Amino acid sequence: MMNKKGFTLMEILAVLLVIAVVVSMAVPVLRSVRYEVKNGQAKNAAHKLAQAVRTYYQVSRGGVPRGQSFTPTADSDKANIVLAAPSACVAPSETGIPLQKTTGSVEIKQLFACGYLSFKDFVSLPYTFTVCDPRPGQDMPNDTCKLSVATGTNTPIVVVKGAAGSGDKYDVSKNKDYLIYVDQSMKVKDSSK
């Protein structure tokens, strides 16, 4: 009698079936983990944006790029806001001394151009970041800034909504209730908690 070494076709198919089942169960978990990581990065970026707005407000004595939004993954926003030329960095006054009150609109691209923010903190984040004006009595020029969960001293400085590619749980087109915001306490909050 001859003893053959090797696997039968049925054994190979059984192993391939087990591998296929394991992979099909692992892919959604890995995708979910990837979305959670992106969401954590978005929270960190929102905090940095709120800090930059606060610092710019203090330096310029009143300048806030309110009601402006940008999505780092959108090519037009990369060119117009995130990758702004240094010439977009405008001193608050010709003498370099901040004005008592900034007149005219302040643009988000100034925060990047003047070094308050770095593109590396926002790159590849499929979220829309909106800067709000948290000062009392200010009109909210953008409905994004009007949050039912944030009132009074909790008025948001930054609101973040998921865009396409941020995962079903975070994508505002699929889950309208989920958003991230940073209020005047400078704490990152999550509307799902």
| Alpha-carbon span 121 to 72, nearest angstrom | 10
- The DSSP code for 96 is S
User: Backbone dihedral region of 68: left (phi > 0), alpha (psi from -120 to 50 degrees) or beta?
Assistant: beta
Residue 119's SS3 state is helix
Residues 84 and 76: beta-carbon distance below 8 Å: no
Angstrom distances, CA of residue 15 to CA of 27, 82, 175: 18, 50, 39
CA proximity to 180, closest of 106, 125, 137, 117: 125
Does the pTM of the predicted model rise above 0.85?
no
Each of the 193 residues of the chain gets a pLDDT tens digit; together they read 556 677 888 989 999 999 999 888 887 777 778 888 888 899 999 999 999 888 888 877 777 776 688 888 888 888 777 766 666 566 555 545 444 444 455 678 888 888 888 888 888 888 889 888 766 666 555 667 777 655 555 678 888 888 877 777 787 777 777 888 888 888 888 876 4
| Alpha-carbon span 170 to 32, nearest angstrom | 11
Task: Spell out the SS3 assignment of 23-92.
Answer: HHHHHHHHHHHHHHHHHHHHHHHHHHHHHHHHHHHHHHCCCCCCCEEECCCCHHHHHHHHCCCHHHCCCC
User: What residue type is assigned to position 56 of the chain?
Assistant: Y
| Alpha-carbon span 184 to 147, nearest angstrom | 14
